[in-house]
Copies of this chain bind each other. A is one copy, B any other.
Amino acid sequence: MDDLRAAFPVFERLAYLNAGTNGPVPHVAVEAAATELRQQADTGRGDQAFFEERVLAPVDELRRRVAALLACEPDELALTDSTTGGVNAVLSMLELGPDDEVLTSDEEHPGVLAPLGAGMGRRGFEVRSVPFDQLPAEVGPRTRLVAASHVSWITGRVVDGAALAAAGAPVLLDGAQGLGAVPVDVRALGCDFYAASGQKWLCGPNGLGYLFLRAERIGELVPAWAGYGSLAHTERPLDLVLHEDARRFEAGVVAPHQSAWALAALDVLEGFGIADVHERAAQLAAHLASELEERGLNVAPRGNSTLVSWESPDPAADTVALREQGFVVRHLPGRPYVRASVGAWTSEKELEGLLALAA
């Protein structure tokens, strides 16, 4: 673990426990990105070599490696700008109207709820919000889509993917607190769509996300937002000859310093071992939760995840006070919780320090 931890400069200065917002940044990722910045300045961004070697090749590699983390095919993975971007992409493509219901939960992020709010206003579908744990039981005959978290950003609870899939409606999971944090197998989860972040538990840059779309769905779906990247043939764009794979959902270009950062961060995590990253993080988080409870704090009901939320009379003030002591956690708008994000990079000593201050 010391090797993993030493890869992240922030831990020399802070007890950084907020990967659920943005992950810690490895030193090698900064170096890789800086090299690509210099390269763009030195040799430009406008010839064939730039596009083939600096833009497309790293994106192909990223697609392969992130697909492996999701247990899907590279053809099923679109690069997006964020989890929110993935959710918007899916919602704007599906034919949903006034007779349809989208089922969601009471623990969702604005990255799911804002797209749903915009869609219901525009297209008249209904959004029904139910307690997170009751999602599978609440799927009804009008439910055309379930849009909910894989791992709740509020409590760290984990959705019962198998039960949800068995309920029969298509499922879009918000994987912002899933990918990189816990093992993900999109087929075992039974989802049609899985939207995830690059900048959180994968320690990549802001501005890069991932969207899994089940192969069987891709051919029937036309992106509502299209661009140069969506097209298999670019000479007659109005004819919209789309890529046959998930690239049809990609409109833009990933800057080389962004992809280089993402790849270097994956190197760090894979160097430690992704399974070990997941296992150690979950163990430490469970340890923190039980220690907080032992000290009399109310910990929000959670699952086998990397998030631990506990009640506080003033979570915002607690967050500020902890920051002054060098501990970076967060509070959650409109909720009674302070939330710590525990990674494989977290030390036992940090958790002891947090316990001493929080409890």
**Is A25 engaged at the interface, CB distance under 8 Å to the other chain?**
yes
- Would you call B37 and A227 a contact (CB within 8 A)? no
- Would you call A46 and B330 a contact (CB within 8 A)? yes
- Report Cα–Cα, A323/B49, bound state, in Å: 10
From B81, B223, B323, A47 is in contact (CB under 8 Å) with B323
**Is A235 engaged at the interface, CB distance under 8 Å to the other chain?**
yes
- Would you call A252 and B41 a contact (CB within 8 A)? no
> A34: shortest Cβ distance to chain B, in Å?
5
> A19: shortest Cβ distance to chain B, in Å?
8
- Please, which residues of chain B bring their CB within 8 A of the CB of A251? 82, 84-85, 88, 114
> A103: shortest Cβ distance to chain B, in Å?
13
Residue in chain B with minimal CB distance to A87: B227
- Report Cα–Cα, A204/B191, bound state, in Å: 38
- Report Cα–Cα, A222/B81, bound state, in Å: 20
Give A200-235 as 1s and 0s: 1 = Cβ < 8 Å from B's Cβ atoms.
000001110000000000000011111110110011
- Please, which residues of chain B bring their CB within 8 A of the CB of A258? 207
Most buried by B among A46, A207, A261: A46
Give A314-330 as 1s and 0s: 1 = Cβ < 8 Å from B's Cβ atoms.
00000010010000101
Give A13-41 as 1s and 0s: 1 = Cβ < 8 Å from B's Cβ atoms.
11010110111111101100110011011
**Is A296 engaged at the interface, CB distance under 8 Å to the other chain?**
no
Residue in chain B with minimal CB distance to A89: B225
Contacts of A252-295 to chain B: CB distance below 8 A: 252-255, 257-258, 261
Stretch at the interface among A162-170, A180-188, A237-245: A237-245
- Please, which residues of chain B bring their CB within 8 A of the CB of A129? 238
From B10, B111, B235, B255, A206 is in contact (CB under 8 Å) with B255
Most buried by B among A25, A29, A119, A237: A237
**Is A1 engaged at the interface, CB distance under 8 Å to the other chain?**
no
**Is A338 engaged at the interface, CB distance under 8 Å to the other chain?**
no
Most buried by B among A230, A240, A258, A334: A240
**Is A45 engaged at the interface, CB distance under 8 Å to the other chain?**
yes
Nearest 10 interchain pairs by C-beta: A18-B46, A22-B45, A117-B240, A113-B237, A206-B255, A84-B227, A110-B237, A235-B334, A88-B225, A25-B41
Please give 13 more A-B residue pairs, beta carbons under 8 A apart, in addition to A9-B41, A48-B320, A110-B234. Answer: A13-B43, A18-B44, A18-B47, A21-B45, A33-B37, A37-B37, A37-B261, A82-B227, A88-B251, A110-B227, A114-B240, A117-B239, A118-B225
